[in-house]
Structure 1
Amino acid sequence: MKVFSSTCTFDYSWEEVSTANWRKYCPWNDKSTHVVAVDVLSRSVDPDTGILRTERLITCNQSAPQWIVSLFGGDSTSHVYEISQVDPAAKKVTMCSTNLTWSNVLSVRETVIYQPSRSMPGMKTDFEQEAQITALCSGWQKIKNKVEDISVERFRENSKKGREGFEAVLEMSRRVFGEQRELEAAGQQPR
């Protein structure tokens, strides 16, 4: 098993980040064009804690390395199962996802956490990401290590693109909803 981890701080409040998170795969995010569908499987709010729990199926067009396709078969469409919890009292979003496609060859379990920044809690949001990547090629240690190393590197590249795309979504959300709030404060109807 290999572990990829990453942290950063977004210059947006937790409220902005937790709201924009639902628009992460929107059309104006040109870094997520590989995501072709996001289907909500279930959504519920715990009446005691106020925690919003959502299960989603994310469908992507992502090509696997040709040598893996040749060895194991498959196509470019992949599916990821995600469970997220938004805890408004603790101001914490936790998202856990796992791959469904190729899961007999490679297991990827990712956890992402958004919470107010320790340094500037009302103005910035800390992001923590960890992915546990395990190739399931028992007995083939060299191939297993190669698959895990390639997967970690691809995860690193995709993670960087994902943060860049999310920054664009955050900026667009701030502009759109900032204008809407200004209009409402001025007593005008938003467009």
Structure 2
Amino acid sequence: MVKFFQHTFKYEYNWDSVTLAFWLRYPNPFTSHVESVDVIDRYVDPNTGVLRTTRLILKRGVLPKWGKGLMKTPEAYIIEESMVNPKTQTMITLTKNITHARVMQVEEWQTYRVDSNNHEFTQVKTEARIISNLGWGLTDRLEGFGIKKLADSTAKSRKGMSHVLEMIREKQLLRGRGFLTST
């Protein structure tokens, strides 16, 4: 069985700021569960101009009481692949867990693009699927838990991105008023 999650959100910031905030979002006050982020591979495709990045993210979570026998540790390694196309002003990300994947696999796609109604805003569409083939009557429970955690983490992620975006805005305002110089 598979459970699906979809969510669309609009940042009241331009695409350039939102994609910059994406790379600067760790650490922030809403991501204390993120232990580390490492770039594994990054290059610009010479044919398309698309920036492709693969990162390894280590997150620490909390296991539900009923899940403690299924997983040894609440730590999870996540692979994040992204493609940033500056020509079309689109960024697509795919994240999926590589730890605990036999118990539950979470695959999340996000598309960041200029909002069609207001070009100063950025729309983010999130789509995810949660898959568990564990059996023993736990599949629905695991997938339901995965959907709830994904909804919670999406809300925290938005708060974290908004925090970073506000920091970017403040720095730009200070620089524009001559308080900061470029370094």
TM-score tier, shorter chain, comes to over 0.9
* Bigger helix fraction: 1
Alignment of 1:5-154 (within 5 A): 5-26=6-27, 29-70=28-69, 72-121=70-119, 123-138=120-135, 140=136, 142-154=137-149
| Deviation digits for residues 104-147 of structure 1 (CA, Å, limit 9, x no counterpart) | 110100001110001012x1000100110011214x3x310111
Q: Secondary structure at the match of 1:183?
A: coil
Write the distance in 1 (CA, Å) between the matches of 2:98 and 2:5: 19
Structure 1: stretches of 5+ with no match in the other structure: none
Write the distance in 2 (CA, Å) between the matches of 1:128 and 1:4: 11
Structure 1 position 190, deviation (Å): 4.1
Percentage identity across paired residues of the two chains: 29
Write the distance in 1 (CA, Å) between the matches of 2:181 and 2:80: 36
Write the distance in 2 (CA, Å) between the matches of 1:116 and 1:181: 24
Match of 2:175 in 1: 180
Structure 1 position 158, deviation (Å): 1.3
Q: Secondary structure at the match of 1:20?
A: helix
| Deviation digits for residues 21-45 of structure 1 (CA, Å, limit 9, x no counterpart) | 101112xx21111001000000000
Structure 1 position 73, deviation (Å): 3.4
Structure 1 position 58, deviation (Å): 0.4
Alignment pair present for 1:167 and 2:159: no
Aligned partner letter, 1:11: E
Write the distance in 2 (CA, Å) between the matches of 1:11 and 1:155: 23
Structure 1 position 8, deviation (Å): 0.9
Q: Secondary structure at the match of 2:110?
A: strand
Write the distance in 1 (CA, Å) between the matches of 2:177 and 2:90: 27
Q: How many residues are aligned here?
A: 182
Paired residues of 1:63 and 1:75 also in contact (CA < 8 A): no
Paired residues of 2:71 and 2:100 also in contact (CA < 8 A): no
State the TM-score, normalizing by the size of structure 2.
Answer: 0.94
Aligned partner letter, 1:66: K
Paired residues of 2:6 and 2:128 also in contact (CA < 8 A): yes
Structure 2: stretches of 5+ with no match in the other structure: none
